[in-house]
Amino acid sequence: MNRFEGRRVLVTGAGSGIGQASVLRILSEGGRVVAADRSEAGLADTVSKAGAGADRLTEIVLDIGNEQSVRAGVASAVDALGGLDALVNAAGILRSSHTHETSLDQFEQILRVNLVGTFLVIRESIPALLEGERPAVVNFSSTSATFAHPYMAAYAASKGGVLSMTHALAAEYAKQGIRFTAVQPGSISSGMTDGSGQSKASTGPGLPEDADMALYAKLQPAIGQGFAGPETVASVVAMLASEDAAFITGTEIRIDGGTHY
């Protein structure tokens, strides 16, 4: 299956987890990809896993929380690809804490990266997407946007914002041909989580030491043997960014193994 043959794609958060899995999936289907991440080590890991697709992969260091970095990074990506047909906004951070112990700086950092960062990448990419072939944008929301995830109020707010923004953008650019969709991963072992729902040390503190784990009783997948791998989400991302989803826009797909019926 070569749904992405000749298709030019920018993927953020490409140095680990679902972003990396999305890069590898799109490469496996013939796409040309720019992998963007703030971690050089992560990007090197992605390149090392690209195999035969490495000759269609370009990596750039990009911090989506920094406007200048986004401007320069997206311009570099478009230049390297000779245009842009699809954008996958997988970059984000996860932080967990008691809300009454969360500082304004911590709250704003999560919004800055997850919500504002997604906006910045989209804004800078739209001119190239308008000139692209069957352009599509896949944003990353979360099951936390619509279901209760304790100790993650800021994260939930940021992902709820991404979800609402996706709907607004889909309406705004429908007549100009850009499709906007969102995925809502849940119960996924990724670059953000260790497979138990707690955030990894590399992305921030895990759940509070005195967290009430009974609150997570309902946050377990109904199918499978626990958390799924990032490739589970990458397959859906690839579908949404391809022509298979030509009649899909302004909506989201929850990928959580039935955690939230």
The torsion angles phi and psi of 33, rounded to 5 degrees, stand at: -130, 140
Exposure class string for 198-223: b at 16+ Cβ within 10 A, else e: bbbeebbebbeeebeeeebeebebee
CB 181 within 8 A of CB 138: yes
Residue spans of beta strands (DSSP E) within 62-218: 86-89, 136-140, 179-185
Cα–Cα nearest to 162, from 61, 65, 252, 254? 252
Residue spans of beta strands (DSSP E) within 164-246: 179-185
Assigned token pair, 96: 């967990």
Active site residue 155: yes
Cα–Cα nearest to 122, from 182, 79, 82? 182
Assigned token pair, 118: 């997604």
Of the residues 151, 155, 173, 261, which is catalytic? Answer: 155
CB 110 within 8 A of CB 91: no
Cite the active site residues. 155
